[in-house]
Amino acid sequence: MKYVYLFNEGNKDMRSLLGGKGANLAEMINMGLPVPNGFTVTTEACNKYYKDNEVMSEDIKNEILVNLEKLEEITGKKIGDEENPLLLSVRSGAPVSMPGMMDTILNLGLNDKVAKAIASNEDNMRFIYDSYRRFIMMYADVVKGVNKDEFETILLNRKRAKGITSDLELTAEDMYELTIDFKKLYKKLVKSDFPEDITVQIIEAVTAVFRSWNNDRAKVYRNMNNISETLGTAVNIQEMVYGNLTNDSLTGVAFSRNPANGEDKLYGEFLEKAQGEDIVAGVRTPKSIEAMERDYPKIYQELKDISKLLEKHYKDMQDMEFTVEKGKLYMLQTRNGKRTSLAALNIAVSEVKEGLITKEEALMKVSPDDISSLLHSSFKKESLNKASVITKGLPASPGAASGKIYFDVQSVKKASEENIPAILVRKETSAEDIEGMQKAVGILTVNGGMTSHAAVVARGIGRCCISGCENLIVSEEEKYMQVGDKMYPEGTEISLDGMTGTVYEGVLEIAEASLTDNFKEFLSWAKEIKKLAVKANADTKKDALKALELGAEGLGLCRSEHMFFEKDKILAIRKMILAGSNEERDIALKELLPIQQKDFEDLFTVMDGKSVVIRYLDPPLHEFLPKTDIEMEELSKYLKISVSDLQTKIDKLKEINPMMGHRGCRLAVTYPSIIVMQTKAIINAALKCAKKGITVKPEMMVPLTISLNEFTYLKDIIDKTIKEIMVKDNISYKVGTMIEVPRSVIVANEIATKAEFFSFGTNDLTQMTLGISRDDASFLNDYYEKGILTEDPFKTIDQNGVGKLMIVASRLAKSVRPDIELGICGEHGGDAKSVKFCHKIGLDYVSCSPYRVPAAILAAAQAVIEGK
């Protein structure tokens, strides 16, 4: 086993062994770029260190010392040498970037003898004792684990004594004396002398970096970012270069392109006479890279050339660190640069145009989340930096919104009529709030997760929403919200960042979204490659138009009941629900028929030539019923019954576990006239559209099916109803079902004998397969914290559970109907990982809310590329 690699022995593909930094340093060395030389102790050495109970084995130590000798040879310098001493940095570098989480030691190789030798040139004296005293403090801190405070106090006292405030005003003598004081303090705290032996320094420093892999902040960071504990860190030992040595020394960071917008121009900043750490510390204000072009044109050109070379080599925008020592440029690090979504898109597109990468490579460089975020407005960074946070919730629907808060639909509507941007704040939303949600610029709820009613509806209509804001107290009656002791009455201005789930005080400045040409071109590439069809979940003409604009190839889910929530319709549906007899119900349904038919006509017209999957009435009936006193009175007048009789009727419909109650096709079994009315509305609308030359492809979908008997009972009613209206076979339609209850998976081969398509309703399927109500799932936070679960099963398909059921259902269905159409219409249809899973298991399409369509298209394309 080889534990140490000279830089020239490695390359960029050895990231897991050498860490990201080490692999890239090796790569640059091999490219012939100016990189201070060195070697890397591998992650395997780190893992062995932990396996050996945190002791570094002799073979690793020996290998480090052997390579140190080789480095001396390569550099022509020697450790501890008075003529030409080798000074070193010791830096961590894990396979996955964990910026600032682990330790670093600089100026290693200094001791009294070396310092004195260098200081014999008086020009170097201040510099070398400054470096030495820093080294002592760093070593005490990182290697010996003592508190730095007393060192800082000594430094401070010296400055006070001299009446100065800046370190820069300290003289060479001050630095020398500080070094002596620091060494004394070191001895006092560590109970031994500071080591003169430089091999001791090196071995101890490497051990300290290994140890820092397991410090508390590193562990938390790994946990938060799902980084495996078993990776370990590598350690890079590299010749020091000093950006603070002379006046023609400097240090800086640069991106090969602008990371904010992707512009193809060197971007970054530098500090003259400084070390890299000084930029990070932010004590001095760095200069922009443009100043370098002016003041150091030669170095600028060299850096720019290297930057282009690296970009071409890595086929990606680079984030680089460099230092100039006495006019000579050294590259200290390069890696693929982080960037905004906008920059990611623009860079990918322009790199294709430059011939740097292929379209397929470009498609892999932008994440579906990036694509989604480009569809939504966001707060300007400057504005965010100044904003004060009220609280945080779940980022339920992206976008940015500022407005006044209101606690009921009426007030939101009134404000909206007066052109006041309104934010609807509710404990939770229900079907009745939809009008208010549409009129509001943003929605904030106390309860509910990422797939709560508020979240689902908000994403569907592209409205910014924060849900599950659990430390918010809302009084809808008294019209205020409260966090801690602070009250926010109706009309208070707040801002919602739907991308992060943060609620801010006051109004913030918004950057609007826009679909650029680059965006459209990029998506067109994805469309060419993908195999999965991407459809949208949309219930109204407006949503359908948005879906088409964003690239949807059809509607995979039209929730027929969503059409009912407008004012005049809801009264009719309530009348239907509360009907005392079949006759009363039929009268109410007769009133609903033309309304629903008109809605379908609008939808079919918009979707001309594309398939439209319509789900029959699904939610439990009580979801449609009034909740407030005002609504109760209104309904009681409309129905001409007393409020108390109305209440009794409503109470009868209450359920203990509504998610598993009288809903879905169970409603149609009890009240077949509902499914008859809906079928008539669909087919009448289709016939009317067909007459106008519109191509209509309705697919009628039965929700919550659990057995062939049940499906057959309903399909017979649907077929009979259609036969009665459709004299000629002039509309081609399909009748299929949702697969959303575990039992329907088990008997999928039976159901598929009659059902022409399956659509996986993975929201419900996840709830029932896991036995977790998404509305009551806040306990899952304990599961994430304790590492029992790593992903939200309501966001990303639980492949080991729900995913297996999807595979089983698909196989069973195809065994009896090989050409059955298979799709997914749950929230997962817009989640990139889940879309890729759907591709892998051979579904025909995914369907998601309109604003997720572009992300789903990209994910579907990536799935094809990844599968190659």
3-state secondary structure of 444: strand
Q: Kindly tell me which of 314 and 783 has the beta carbon lying closer to a copy of itself.
A: 783
Q: Are strands 318-325 and 328-336 parallel, antiparallel or unpaired?
A: antiparallel
Q: CA dist 468 to 114, 391, 393, 550, Å?
A: 61, 11, 5, 28
Q: Kindly tell me which of 206 and 802 has the beta carbon lying closer to a copy of itself.
A: 802
Which three-class secondary structure string do you get for 575-626? Answer: HHHCCCCHHHHHHHHHHHHHHHHHHHHHHHHHCCCCEEEEECCCCCHHHHCC
| 828 flagged as catalytic | no
644 in Cβ contact with 650 (< 8 Å): no
469, 825, 838, 848: which is the annotated catalytic residue?
825
Q: What is the binding site for a copy of itself (CB under 8 A)?
A: 655-662, 666, 669-670, 704, 706-707, 709-710, 713, 740-743, 746-747, 764, 767-773, 775-776, 778-779, 782-783, 786-789, 798, 800-802, 804-805
Q: Which residues contact 417 (CB under 8 A, 6 or more apart)?
A: none
Tokens describing residue 430: 């229900």
3-state secondary structure of 299: helix
3-state secondary structure of 330: strand
599 in Cβ contact with 540 (< 8 Å): yes
Angle at which helices 582-606 and 567-577 cross, to 10°:
140
Q: Kindly tell me which of 483 and 659 has the beta carbon lying closer to a copy of itself.
A: 659
- Nearest approach, Cβ of residue 718 and a copy of itself (Å): 15
- Nearest approach, Cβ of residue 481 and a copy of itself (Å): 16
| 848 flagged as catalytic | no
Query: Angle at Cα 46 formed by Cα 42 and Cα 47, nearest 5°?
Result: 110
- Nearest approach, Cβ of residue 640 and a copy of itself (Å): 23
DSSP 8-state code for residue 337: P
- Nearest approach, Cβ of residue 645 and a copy of itself (Å): 13
Q: Kindly tell me which of 653 and 687 has the beta carbon lying closer to a copy of itself.
A: 653
Give the separation between CA 672 and CA 540, rounded to whole angstroms.
25
Q: Kindly tell me which of 27 and 764 has the beta carbon lying closer to a copy of itself.
A: 764
Tokens describing residue 315: 């086929």
Q: CA dist 269 to 82, 167, 276, 279, 683, Å?
A: 35, 23, 11, 9, 66
Q: Kindly tell me which of 514 and 670 has the beta carbon lying closer to a copy of itself.
A: 670
- Nearest approach, Cβ of residue 657 and a copy of itself (Å): 4
Q: Is 61 exposed, middle or buried (0-12, 13-18, 19+ CB in 10 A)?
A: middle
Count how many Cα atoms sit within 13 Å of the Cα of residue 150 in the half-sphere of its side chain: 15
- Nearest approach, Cβ of residue 767 and a copy of itself (Å): 6
Q: Are strands 697-702 and 734-739 parallel, antiparallel or unpaired?
A: parallel
468 in Cβ contact with 447 (< 8 Å): yes
Q: Kindly tell me which of 178 and 708 has the beta carbon lying closer to a copy of itself.
A: 708
Nearest to 466 by CA among 482, 455, 456: 455
- Nearest approach, Cβ of residue 699 and a copy of itself (Å): 22
Q: Kindly tell me which of 687 and 772 has the beta carbon lying closer to a copy of itself.
A: 772
Q: Kindly tell me which of 1 and 788 has the beta carbon lying closer to a copy of itself.
A: 788
Q: Kindly tell me which of 514 and 709 has the beta carbon lying closer to a copy of itself.
A: 709
- Nearest approach, Cβ of residue 788 and a copy of itself (Å): 5
- Nearest approach, Cβ of residue 785 and a copy of itself (Å): 10
- Nearest approach, Cβ of residue 126 and a copy of itself (Å): 55
Give the separation between CA 179 and CA 2, rounded to whole angstroms.
38
Q: Kindly tell me which of 734 and 804 has the beta carbon lying closer to a copy of itself.
A: 804
Other CB atoms within 10 Å distance of the CB of residue 315: 14
Nearest to 20 by CA among 236, 202, 329: 236
Give the separation between CA 342 and CA 336, rounded to whole angstroms.
16
Q: Which residues contact 123 (CB under 8 A, 6 or more apart)?
A: none
- Nearest approach, Cβ of residue 660 and a copy of itself (Å): 4
Backbone angles phi, psi at 795, to 5 degrees: -100, -50
46, 376, 453, 665: which is the annotated catalytic residue?
453
Q: Is 843 exposed, middle or buried (0-12, 13-18, 19+ CB in 10 A)?
A: buried
**Which are the catalytic amino acids?**
453, 825
